[in-house]
A and B are shown apart, each in its own frame.
Chain A
Amino acid sequence: MTEAQATACPPSKADEALLKVANLEAWYGESHVLQGISFDVFPGEVVTLLGRNGAGRTTTLRSIMGLVASRTGSILYDGSETITRSARAIARSGIALVPEERAVFATLSVRENLLLPPVVKEGGMSLEEIFGLFPNLRERLDSPGTKLSGGEQQMLAIGRILRTGARLILLDEPTEGLAPVIVQQIGRTVAALKRQGYTIVLVEQNFRFASTLADRHIVIEQGRVVDQIAADEVASNEAKLHDYLGV
């Protein structure tokens, strides 16, 4: 599939993309990590970025969030260009990142962690709604952030950005290192967020997890989009996917 074909999918929604990434290039020092990434994400979609380690998936999320200083191309969010904006301004426009390392603050309690990100848009969840998704957090409100288990830290990392009113959520490896039962809970949460109309871009190593949630899979290799596979095409493309992911 060519880049042009990749960005055109799905054609019926082409004019309505919430996020439109075009020719995104990014560098870490001398290293040319993203070499012209292009894809669209439509409102209410869950899209996964698939690929092997080092393909550029996390860098794509970080570039969308404005955390990679050296980047070129175009990133339109809700029709506005964000490529020249700071991470702060991008967050204020309604995009939120749940980073791979979770970034739960050790010196802050769970309550402080939850209340840390400012509300940037109307329509964010209340604490009660967040506790509805993650009941564990209510019981651990006064615990230091890093006294939580890995699963609870992931719940906290997701929960705190749901307060902000952000409508596009960038989830980087949310199931990494978690027990199967927690992975299932994270999966139910992502599905619930999708039902509530959130748009989610997911970087995920666990394809079995991603395949149950995503509307579309975007395959990245060596800093480029090489394929896009809709959820209903996964079964017929299994061999190709195994080849892409090296599994």
Chain B
Amino acid sequence: MVTILGVPLQALLGQLLVGAINGGFYALLSLGIAIIFGMLHIINFAHGALYMMGAFMAWILLNYFGLNFWFALVIAPIVVGLVGIVLERTLLSRLYNQDHLYNLLLTFGLGLIIVGLFRIGFGGSGKPYSPPEALMGALNLGFMFLPVYRGFVLAVALVSCLVVWLVIERTRLGAYLRAATENAEIVEAFGINVPLLIALTYGGGVALAGFAGVLAAPIYSVYPNMGHDLMIIVFALVVIGGLGSIFGAIVTGFSLGIIEGLTKVFYPEASTTVVFVLMAVVLLVKPAGLFGKEA
């Protein structure tokens, strides 16, 4: 049997793949947070709750409306995005002239309220959600059996990140977003509707969280706290990548997922802390993050 540093190659490749899949979730979530931070300059602590809302939307659509995963993949991000736009217009927008700390506290409180409401409505226990039939089964890759659905998640996460990056970097809308991130006042003075851009940005960012929630529903069971543990890691990733850096969020999301996976193979005891150790090192060496710009 081929081994690397005493670890069987099969186990190594398997963990690499699992790490990449986790990295897909990290990238989708940190991408949303980075987009929102870039434009609104707030750290969206409600992101985990809205990710959970996306997963619950999938479960509700299936169990109350008979709409399967494919419908949920489209409908849930739209609903979560609309909820985000309502939150931004009715609550967040009132605090833009205040210290950013107030919006941080607001989103933290909103996250707790949303999770609390789902716990009241649906209980705290996990609810099963099966992958769609077309994505059942596993592929024999030679070194491991890859569940088709997990491969699908990895591919979709990669494509989604690429599409979002292209929209931001290559379209007129993306140019408006990047310009407004730099100097919203002048963009407004060009006659561009910046409040609408901000609302769409927040809506789009949390829609990505909702989208990730739907993708996560068949892998993890659906429960109100499902966003909580994941978001602690995602916020660390965003800090490592550089707050507000779109490219940094994507690269760091996937990379750290893989690093976490490899740590599970070589030194499992550190697998839950490796991200935070890396965050501390990056903060010491490059406080603005790997891809962030120094203030």
Pair from one complex: yes
Contact flags (1/0) for B235-259 with A, using CB distance below 8 Å? 0000000000000000000000000
Per a CB cutoff under 8 Å, which of B175, B176, B189 touches A67? B189
Could you tell me if A115 and B172 are in contact, using CB atoms closer than 8 angstroms?
A: yes
Given known A-B contacts A67-B185, A99-B186, A103-B183, A91 and B175 have beta carbons under 8 A apart:
no
Q: List 6 A-B contacts (CB under 8 A).
A: A88-B193, A92-B191, A105-B179, A112-B175, A118-B191, A118-B192
A97 on the interface (CB 8 Å rule)? yes
Q: Report yes or no: A88 in contact with B183, Cβ–Cβ below 8 A.
A: no
* CB interface residues, A 110-136, toward B, < 8 Å: 112, 115-118, 120
Cross-interface CB contact of B189 among A66, A105, A107, A112, cutoff 8 Å: A66
Any A CB within 8 A of the CB of B194: yes
In the A-B complex, the 5 residue pairs with the smallest Cβ-Cβ separation, listed nearest first, are A91-B191, A117-B190, A103-B186, A107-B178, A87-B189
Chain A residue, CB-CB nearest to B97: A69
Residue of A nearest to B177 (CB): A107
Q: Which B residues touch A115, using CB under 8 A?
A: 172, 175
Instruction: Determine the interface band of chain B, counting residues with CB < 8 A from chain A.
Output: 10 to 19
A90 nearest CB neighbor, chain B only:
B189
Task: Give chain B interface residues in 24-47, CB to chain A under 8 Å.
Answer: none
**For window 165-190 of chain B, which residues contact chain A by CB distance below 8 Å?**
172, 175-176, 178-179, 181-183, 185-190
Interface residues on chain A, number (Cβ under 8 Å):
25
CB distance from B180 to the nearest CB of A (A): 9
- How far does the alpha carbon of A92 sit from the alpha carbon of B175 in the complex, in Å? 19
Q: Are A88 and B179 in contact (CB under 8 A)?
A: no
A13 to chain B, nearest CB (A): 28
State whether the Cβ of A184 lies closer than 8 Å to any Cβ in chain B: no
Whether A86 is near chain B, meaning CB under 8 Å from some CB there, is yes
Which chain A residues lie closer than 8 Å to B182 at the CB level? 105-107
Q: For B178, what are the chain A residues with a Cβ–Cβ distance below 8 Å?
A: 105, 107-108
B188 touches A86 (CB 8 A): yes
**Known contacts A66-B189, A117-B191; 16 further A-B pairs (Cβ under 8 A):** A65-B189, A67-B185, A67-B189, A87-B188, A92-B191, A103-B183, A105-B179, A107-B178, A107-B181, A107-B182, A108-B178, A112-B175, A115-B172, A116-B176, A116-B187, A116-B190
A193 and B192 CA atoms in complex are apart in Å by 24
Contact A108 B191 (CB under 8 A): no
Given A67-B185, A88-B188, A99-B186, residue A116 in contact with residue B179 (CB < 8 A): yes
* CB atoms of B175 and A116 under 8 A apart: yes
Q: What is the CB-to-nearest-CB distance from A208 to chain B, in angstroms, rounded to a whole number? A: 29
Cα-based distance from A104 to B191 in the complex (angstroms): 16
Beta-carbon contacts under 8 Å, B131-187 to A? 172, 175-176, 178-179, 181-183, 185-187
